[in-house]
């Protein structure tokens, strides 16, 4: 276990693991046992302390709304965002709070799956594009100096699409 993720007012309240590759926890739970729902996991390319400018967290979109199944409500209910604007990640005795600034459906080979950014103009343009592509204008546009986490899950739009929710770190305790 590397961290813990919580989305208040939802059932998203899970440990976050990290594998040797991004397929390790697709159908394996946090104990290493086979489970179709897998686990919530951080990209193997990210530092495990969420210190990268851009971090990518995966979870299945389960029909019973477990794992990242509730994320679909951002897409389905235009008022959902109003009462679900934040999530938090607990890691190394710290609590990072993120405000959701964008959510969208993307292809599984989109730029959202690029990890390894530096806090530079390329990253700044990347997060500006995320904000501009959002299904809802939140009025929040991160900068190159911010820390961003993307929550990724399967989309109902088809096999090669993913639904992603982007959050920018707004405080730390």
Q: What is the pLDDT of residue 81?
A: 97
Q: What is the pLDDT of residue 78?
A: 87
> What tokens does 40 get?
């919530």
Q: What are phi and psi of 37, to 5 degrees?
A: -75, -10
Q: What is the pLDDT of residue 146?
A: 98
Kindly state the DSSP code that residue 121 receives in the 8-state scheme.
H
Q: What is the pLDDT of residue 115?
A: 94
Q: What is the pLDDT of residue 37?
A: 96
Q: Are strands 54-58 and 148-154 parallel, antiparallel or unpaired?
A: parallel
Q: What is the pLDDT of residue 156?
A: 78
Q: What is the pLDDT of residue 157?
A: 78
Helices (H), the chain: 72-76, 80-83, 121-132
Parts of the chain with a pLDDT under 50: none
Q: What is the pLDDT of residue 92?
A: 95
Residue recorded with tokens 């019973």 = 64
Q: Looking at the whole model, is its pTM more than 0.85?
A: yes
């Amino acid at each position: 276990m590397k961290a813990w993720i919580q989305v208040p007012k939802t059932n998203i309240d899970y440990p976050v693991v990290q594998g040797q590759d991004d397929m390790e926890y697709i159908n394996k739970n946090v104990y290493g046992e086979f489970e179709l729902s897998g686990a919530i996991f951080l990209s193997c390319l990210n530092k495990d302390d969420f210190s990268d400018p851009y971090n990518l967290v995966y979870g299945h979109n389960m029909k019973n709304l477990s794992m990242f199944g509730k994320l679909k409500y951002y897409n389905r209910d235009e008022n959902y965002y109003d009462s679900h604007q934040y999530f938090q990640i607990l890691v190394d005795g710290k609590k990072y709070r993120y405000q959701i600034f964008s959510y969208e459906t993307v292809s599984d080979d989109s730029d959202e799956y690029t990890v390894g950014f530096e806090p530079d103009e390329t990253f700044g343009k990347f997060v500006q594009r995320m904000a501009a592509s959002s299904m809802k204008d939140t009025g929040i546009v991160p900068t190159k100096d911010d820390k961003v986490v993307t929550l990724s899950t399967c989309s109902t739009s088809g096999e090669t699409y993913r639904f992603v929710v982007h959050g920018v770190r707004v405080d730390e305790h």
